[in-house]
C-alpha cells in the first residue's frame, strides 16, 4: 500500500489488538443453586418456574413446577414453605411469596383444565404403591411419567391420606384435592379403595408387582396416661379430624381442651370453634417459643379466638373439668412441675400428642428393619428388603405433605433405576447462591403481597377456606419479586458494564458469552451481576 509522506503504518482499528492476553482471571457464566430450591423438600425448581411466571407464561410455569410436584394447588395451601424462610429477598425487604404464587398457578391449572403430558413410551413393569397420601400419589405420578404401570392400594374410602383426614377443609378444600388426584389418575394410575394391605409379600406375589412403594402414613394417635374420672370425654386428634370427613360430626361440647403443641393441636382447636364450641383452649407444657406449630397458624388460631395455656400439663380429667399443673422450664429448656394446680372447665379433652405408624403390613418381610417406630430406608428410600421402598410419615423425617411429596419423587426415580437394574444417583448440586453472591443494589424495593384472608366472623362458624389466592396482577407482581439467585435473568448488566465490549449478547433466551480475545479479566461483570451468575476463575498461565 502506498503511504502518504512520513506515514509508514496502515491506519487500523484497535480491534486488531487482542487485549485478552492481559487476563489473569477469566469470567465464566455459572449456575448456582437458589436457596429456595435448596430448601424445598419436594425438590422443586422454584426459581425456574418463577422465571416463566414473571414473563406471564403461567402454563409454562405450571409445567415446570409439576415436573417435580404434581400437587401445586394443594401445596400452595398446605406447604410450610421452607423456601420462603431461605429466600435471599428476606434480607432486602421480605421473602418472595412463593407459596402464594404456587397457589395461584395451581388454581389456574385447575380452572383451565391443564393436563399432564403422558409418557411417550410404556415399560412392562408393574409397581405397587401402598397408600394414596401425598407420598404415594407423588410416587405414582412420577412412576407413571416414567412409563411404569402403577396401582395404588388405599385402605381408606377416598384418596389424600392426611391431606383429607388430617388437614381441615378451611385450609384445603376437598374439591381442590380431588381435582389434583384426578389429574394423576388421568395418567393411568389405578387407585383401589378400601384395600388395606395386610401381607405385603402376598399382595405383591398375587398382583405380579416388580417393586413396591410403601406410604401408609402415621394414623395411630399417641396416647398419654391421664387419670380420669367417670363420664369423661377424652378423644384423640386423629379421630376428631378424620370424623370431620364423615356424616356425623364429633360432639365436643361447649368447652373443648386440646392437649399438645403441634399444628394438629391448632387444627383441632380451630375445628372445635367452627363446630360451635364457645371455648377452645390448647394446653401445652412448654412456651410459645418452644411450640412446634408454625407461627402463622398460631396467629390465625389466635385471631379466631383459640386460647392457649402455656406451661401446663393435664393431671386429671373429671366430668366437666380438668386439673392442670403449672410447669416451669429448667435451664435445659425442659418443663418441670411446680406443684401448683388449677382447674379448668372442659366438656371434652382432645389429645394431640403425635402419631405412630401402623407397621402390621410389614410382618414377615425379610430384611426390613424398624427403628423408633418407623421403617429404616437408605438414601434411595429403599428398605432393607430388595425392591421395597418406603416414604412419607412412615419413614424417618419431618412429617409434612411437602416432605412426603419429595419422598415419593425420590423413591420413584430409585424404583425406576432399580427396575432397570441400576442404582439411582442424583446429579451433582451446584454451589449455593448465598446472599453474599448477589449484588442487591440492582433490586428495586417491592414489598410482599399478602393473600387475602376470610373475615374473622365467617371463620368462627364455617369451614370456608381462610387464605384465598392472589389474582393475576398480584401474582405477577409477586413472581417478579424473585431475585433469580444464581441464574442469569438477562438483565444485560454484564453486557453493559464491560469496559472492553468483551461480552457478546446472544439474543432473547440465549444469554451471553464472553469474547476472550478482548476480555482483560477486570471482574466488573462478576461484581455487577445482580444474581451471582458469573464466577471469576484463575487463568492457567
**Smallest separation (angstroms) from another protein to the CB of 531:** 8
DSSP letter string over 61-118? HHHHHTTT-S-HHHHHHH---HHHHH-GGGGTSS---HHHHHHHHHHHHHHHT--PPP
Binding residues vs another protein (CB under 8 A): 7, 9-19, 22, 54-55, 441-447, 449-450, 452-455, 458, 468-471, 473-474, 476-477, 480-484, 489-493, 495-497, 499-502, 505, 507-508, 515, 517-518, 520-524, 526-528, 530, 536
Phi then psi for 472, rounded to 5 degrees? -65, -40
**Smallest separation (angstroms) from another protein to the CB of 266:** 22
Q: Which cell numbers hold the place of 271?
A: 375445628
Phi then psi for 380, rounded to 5 degrees? -100, 15
Q: Which one, 16 or 231, has the nearer CB to another protein?
A: 16
Inter-residue contact 391 to 139 (CB < 8 Å): yes
Inter-residue contact 219 to 394 (CB < 8 Å): no
- Indicate the Cα dihedral angle 412, 414, 417, 419, nearest 10°: -70
Residue 367 falls in which region: left (phi positive, over 0), alpha (psi -120 to 50) or beta: left
**Smallest separation (angstroms) from another protein to the CB of 58:** 14
- Indicate the Cα dihedral angle 81, 84, 87, 89, nearest 10°: 160
**Smallest separation (angstroms) from another protein to the CB of 449:** 6
Q: Which residues of 158-172 are buried (b: 16+ CB within 10 A; e: fewer)?
A: bbbbbbbbbbbbbbb
**Smallest separation (angstroms) from another protein to the CB of 4:** 11
Q: Which one, 398 or 472, has the nearer CB to another protein?
A: 472
Q: Which one, 333 or 452, has the nearer CB to another protein?
A: 452
- Indicate the Cα dihedral angle 196, 200, 205, 208, nearest 10°: 70
Q: Which one, 17 or 360, has the nearer CB to another protein?
A: 17
Helix (H, G, I), strand (E, B) or coil at 513: strand
Going from the C-alpha of 167 to that of each of 128, 270, 513, the distances in angstroms are 26, 11, 50
**Which H/E stretch holds residue 37?**
helix 35-39
Inter-residue contact 335 to 285 (CB < 8 Å): yes
Q: Which one, 422 or 523, has the nearer CB to another protein?
A: 523
Residue with cell 383401589: 192
**Smallest separation (angstroms) from another protein to the CB of 91:** 13
Inter-residue contact 53 to 101 (CB < 8 Å): yes
Please report the beta strands in 330-443, taking only residues with DSSP state E, as ranges in sequence order.
335-345, 348-351, 355-356, 370-371, 374-375, 388-390
Q: Which one, 60 or 228, has the nearer CB to another protein?
A: 60
Q: Which one, 193 or 442, has the nearer CB to another protein?
A: 442
**Smallest separation (angstroms) from another protein to the CB of 466:** 10
Q: Which one, 222 or 520, has the nearer CB to another protein?
A: 520
**Smallest separation (angstroms) from another protein to the CB of 302:** 18
Q: Which cell numbers hold the place of 52?
A: 416463566
Inter-residue contact 139 to 415 (CB < 8 Å): yes
Q: Which one, 59 or 363, has the nearer CB to another protein?
A: 59
Q: Which one, 166 or 469, has the nearer CB to another protein?
A: 469
Q: Which one, 386 or 510, has the nearer CB to another protein?
A: 510
Cα separation, 17 vs 516, whole angstroms? 12
Q: Which cell numbers hold the place of 394?
A: 412412615
**Smallest separation (angstroms) from another protein to the CB of 251:** 29
Q: Which one, 114 or 477, has the nearer CB to another protein?
A: 477
Which residues fall within 8 angstroms of residue 510, CB to CB, at 6 or more apart? none
Size (the chain), residues: 541
Residue with cell 421395597: 388
**Smallest separation (angstroms) from another protein to the CB of 56:** 9
Among the listed residues 406, 457, 392, the one whose alpha carbon sits nearest the alpha carbon of residue 166: 392
Q: Which one, 428 or 447, has the nearer CB to another protein?
A: 447
**Smallest separation (angstroms) from another protein to the CB of 462:** 10
CB-facing half-sphere around the CA of 171: CA atoms within 13 A: 24
Q: Which one, 19 or 287, has the nearer CB to another protein?
A: 19
**Smallest separation (angstroms) from another protein to the CB of 360:** 45
**Smallest separation (angstroms) from another protein to the CB of 492:** 3
CB-facing half-sphere around the CA of 468: CA atoms within 13 A: 10
Q: Which cell numbers hold the place of 119?
A: 409418557
Amino acid at each position: 500500500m502506498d503511504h502518504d509522506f512520513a506515514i509508514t503504518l496502515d491506519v487500523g482499528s484497535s480491534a486488531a489488538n487482542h487485549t485478552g492476553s492481559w487476563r489473569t482471571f477469566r469470567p465464566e457464566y455459572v449456575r448456582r443453586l437458589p436457596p429456595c430450591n435448596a430448601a424445598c423438600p419436594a425438590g422443586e425448581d422454584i426459581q425456574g418456574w418463577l422465571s416463566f411466571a414473571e414473563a406471564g407464561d403461567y402454563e409454562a410455569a405450571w409445567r415446570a413446577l409439576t415436573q417435580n410436584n404434581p400437587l401445586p394447588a394443594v401445596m400452595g395451601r398446605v406447604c410450610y414453605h421452607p423456601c420462603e424462610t431461605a429466600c435471599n429477598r428476606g434480607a432486602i425487604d421480605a421473602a418472595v411469596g412463593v407459596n402464594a404464587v404456587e397457589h395461584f398457578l395451581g388454581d389456574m391449572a385447575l380452572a383451565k383444565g391443564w393436563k399432564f403430558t403422558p409418557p411417550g413410551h410404556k415399560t412392562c413393569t408393574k409397581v405397587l404403591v401402598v397408600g394414596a397420601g401425598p407420598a404415594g400419589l407423588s410416587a405414582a405420578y412420577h412412576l407413571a411419567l416414567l412409563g411404569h404401570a402403577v396401582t395404588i392400594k388405599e385402605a381408606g374410602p377416598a384418596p389424600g391420606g392426611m391431606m383429607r383426614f388430617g388437614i381441615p377443609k378451611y385450609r384445603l378444600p376437598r374439591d381442590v384435592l380431588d381435582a389434583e388426584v384426578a389429574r394423576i389418575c388421568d395418567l393411568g394410575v389405578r387407585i383401589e379403595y378400601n384395600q388395606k394391605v395386610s401381607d405385603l409379600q402376598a399382595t405383591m406375589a398375587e398382583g405380579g408387582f416388580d417393586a413396591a412403594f410403601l406410604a401408609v402414613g402415621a394414623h395411630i394417635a399417641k396416647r398419654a396416661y391421664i387419670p380420669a374420672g367417670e363420664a369423661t370425654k377424652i378423644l384423640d386428634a386423629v379421630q376428631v379430624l378424620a370424623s370431620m370427613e364423615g356424616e356425623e360430626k364429633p360432639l365436643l361440647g361447649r368447652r373443648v381442651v386440646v392437649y399438645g403443641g403441634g399444628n394438629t393441636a391448632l387444627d383441632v382447636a380451630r375445628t372445635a370453634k367452627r363446630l360451635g364450641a364457645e371455648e377452645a383452649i390448647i394446653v401445652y407444657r412448654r412456651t410459645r417459643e418452644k411450640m412446634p406449630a408454625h407461627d402463622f397458624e398460631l396467629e390465625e388460631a389466635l385471631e379466631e379466638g383459640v386460647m392457649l395455656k402455656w406451661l401446663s400439663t393435664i393431671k386429671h380429667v373429671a366430668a366437666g373439668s380438668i386439673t392442670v399443673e403449672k410447669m416451669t422450664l429448667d435451664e435445659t429448656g425442659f418443663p418441670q412441675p411446680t406443684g401448683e394446680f388449677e382447674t379448668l372447665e372442659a366438656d371434652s379433652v382432645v389429645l394431640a400428642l403425635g402419631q405412630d405408624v401402623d407397621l402390621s403390613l410389614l410382618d414377615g418381610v425379610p430384611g426390613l428393619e424398624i427403628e423408633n417406630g418407623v421403617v429404616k430406608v437408605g438414601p434411595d428410600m429403599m428398605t432393607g428388603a430388595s425392591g421395597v421402598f418406603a416414604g412419607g410419615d412412615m419413614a424417618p423425617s419431618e412429617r409434612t405433605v411437602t416432605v412426603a411429596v419429595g419422598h415419593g419423587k425420590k423413591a420413584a426415580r430409585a424404583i425406576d433405576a432399580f427396575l432397570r437394574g441400576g442404582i439411582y444417583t442424583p446429579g451433582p448440586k451446584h454451589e449455593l447462591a448465598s446472599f453474599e453472591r448477589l449484588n442487591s443494589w440492582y433490586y428495586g424495593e417491592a414489598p410482599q403481597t399478602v393473600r387475602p384472608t376470610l373475615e374473622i366472623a365467617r371463620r368462627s362458624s364455617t369451614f370456608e377456606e381462610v387464605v384465598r389466592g392472589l389474582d393475576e396482577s398480584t401474582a405477577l407482581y409477586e413472581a417478579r419479586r424473585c431475585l433469580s439467585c444464581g441464574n442469569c435473568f438477562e438483565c444485560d448488566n454484564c453486557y453493559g458494564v464491560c469496559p472492553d465490549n468483551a461480552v457478546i449478547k446472544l439474543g432473547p433466551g440465549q444469554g451471553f458469552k464472553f469474547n476472550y480475545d478482548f476480555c482483560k479479566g477486570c471482574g466488573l461483570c462478576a461484581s455487577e451481576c445482580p444474581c451471582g451468575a458469573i464466577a471469576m476463575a484463575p487463568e492457567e498461565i
